[in-house]
Amino acid sequence: MTTPTQGAGPAPGYQPHDGVPLTADEVRGSSLGDLMRQVTTDLSTLLRQEVELAKAEIREEGRKAGKAAGFFGGAGFGGYMVALFLSIALWAGLSNVMDGGWAGLIVAVLWAGIAAVLYSMGRRHAQRVRGLKKTNESVQRIPEALSPHPEGVTR
């Protein structure tokens, strides 16, 4: 804020702090407007950083979720193949009780094993998706940072 006697520059007590805490003398030499501007700037920077952290965590967790979804998709396809080959094996087994049906059954059992492995891999990757842990932790610290501290600024 400027007054007619101050000119166009910053107020006499104002010193940009670039994230470095102000000393008691610097606080005493600053006007209330300057201090409020610093608090507003710091809050704006903090919120912007929290949004960027949330975006980064969402991207990382999205990659993990995508990988898990891929494994579940593979397990689903494997399950489909089991049903297909079991159906073919049952059909062939009923129409020709000999070799053709047993071969289809062996292929279906093989696909069941592949589907089980893909499912277990998908499940393991899905358990690694944990949400926005870092963002949640730092956002929960904001009210503590804004509350008055007992030591305060000494005169």
Whether 59 shows a pLDDT value over 70: the answer reads yes
CA gap 94, 82 in Å, rounded:
18
CA gap 153, 38 in Å, rounded:
16
Please write the tens of the pLDDT for every residue from 2-55.
444 444 444 444 445 555 677 777 777 778 888 888 888 888 888 889 888 888
What pLDDT is stored for residue 12 in this prediction?
45
Domain ranges (residues) in the chain: 24-133
For 18, counting Cβ atoms within 10 Å of its Cβ (0-12 exposed, 13-18 middle, 19+ buried), the class is exposed
> What are the structure tokens assigned to 154, written together?
């000494």
Predicted TM-score of the model (pTM): 0.40
User: In whole numbers, what is the pLDDT of the chain averaged over residues?
Assistant: 75
